Amino acid sequence: MIIKPLLLILFLLTALDARENPFFPVDSSEEISVTTNQINTIPPLKRASIELPSTARVLESVTIRYKNLDGSIATKSVEIKEGVDWHLPLFISQSYCSNDSKTTKSQVKTLKVKQEKALEVLNLDFIRFVVTGNQIKIITKDKLLRDFLLIKPHRIVCDFKRDIDIRSYITKLPKGLVFKRIRIGAHKGYYRVVVELDGYYTYRLKKENSAYIFTLH
């Protein structure tokens, strides 16, 4: 009669010592992340874009922030350190070929062709302006007295020596150029040329015969 209670006690002790899930090894040092059964309704990535400010010149790196299966947030960065044209957007995509990307490449190519073609944007008796890409050539026999940059809006200011009585000129330049408009006004002993830009730049000035060439950087 005593044997049966002893067997019952031994059975209960054995059950208490048993593992909850016998299919996983006891010594497993790897943590198994808890996942969710919720269906992911987020649409797959097609293409995202970002526009840079006009002060951007070098792309140092790109950092991606993403969510893991367990819901944790992580980041991954890649160094680039290459020059960048802020006029053109940056894209991130998982599509190697698409009609949109072909259209974008075509538009970019067209824009670059337009920018590299020399275009006379203003021609007066005493001064001419020719734009080629990021350069503007001011052709005049008048002496350049001073040149400097001003902001809001960002613009190049040039004073040329000449006693002249002219009305003020304001010329809006064609779309797609980095130079937006040219203003000319007369002052005592000189006239002022103001070339408005589409963003923030520095410039280098070079004189060739009767031309002053401003190259934007």
Beta strands across the sheet bearing 203-208: 119-123, 128-132, 135-139, 211-216, 203-208
Q: Which domain holds residue 203?
A: 117-216
pLDDT tens-place values along the chain, 217 residues long = 555 555 555 555 555 554 445 444 444 444 434 444 454 577 888 888 889 998 898 989 989 898 887 889 999 998 988 888 888 898 888 765 545 445 455 544 444 544 578 999 999 999 999 999 999 999 999 999 999 999 889 999 999 999 988 888 899 999 989 999 999 999 999 999 999 999 999 999 999 999 999 999 9
155 plus 190 within the same structural domain: yes
For the purposes of burial, counting CB atoms within 10 Å of the CB of 129, is it exposed (0-12), middle (13-18) or buried (19 or more)? buried
134 plus 196 within the same structural domain: yes
Element (H, E) at 107: helix 99-116
66 plus 108 within the same structural domain: yes
69 plus 128 within the same structural domain: no
Determine, yes or no, domain membership for 86: yes
DSSP-derived secondary structure letter, 34: P
Report the C-alpha gap between 112 and 114 in whole angstroms: 5
User: What region, left, alpha or beta, does residue 74 occupy, with left being phi > 0 and alpha being psi -120 to 50 degrees?
Assistant: beta
Structure tokens, 165: 């009585």
The last residue of one of the domains, among 79, 94, 114, is: 114
pTM reported for the whole predicted model: 0.64
User: Residues 193, 127: contact at Cβ < 8 Å?
Assistant: yes
